[in-house]
């Protein structure tokens, strides 16, 4: 099913209004944060269990993606 021009414009306007509303909400939430809230948020960001000393991956994600695409059946 393909959207017509009117539906596409309505969809676009809906998401533009949603983006504005979400930006306003985010701004209000950030302004309402206390110093303790900020400290907790920073602590959560920097306490991610990630091994920075691990050896880098030997396979590129792009190379792996292309390998998987090559396995898909070809459309004729």
Q: Could you tell me if residue 53 is inside a domain?
A: no
* 55 occurs within a structural domain: no
Domain-embedded: residue 57: no
| Prediction pTM value | 0.50
Residue 13's pLDDT band, with cuts at 50, 70 and 90, is very high
What local confidence, expressed as pLDDT, does residue 1 receive?
Answer: 59
Does some domain include residue 64? no
Which domain does 32 fall in, by range?
1-46
The mean pLDDT of 11-18, rounded to a whole number, is 96
Q: What is the pLDDT of residues 35-58, one digit of tens each?
A: 999 999 999 888 877 776 776 767
Indicate the number of domains in the chain. 1
Alpha-carbon span 17 to 4, nearest angstrom:
20
pLDDT value of residue 25: 97
């Amino acid at each position: 099913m393909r959207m017509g021009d009117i539906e596409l414009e309505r969809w676009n306007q809906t998401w533009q209004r949603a983006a504005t509303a979400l930006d306003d909400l985010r701004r209000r939430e950030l302004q309402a944060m206390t110093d303790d809230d900020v400290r907790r948020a920073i602590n959560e960001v920097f306490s991610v269990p990630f091994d920075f000393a691990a050896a880098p991956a030997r396979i590129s994600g792009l190379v792996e993606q292309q390998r998987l695409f090559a396995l898909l059946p070809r459309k004729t």
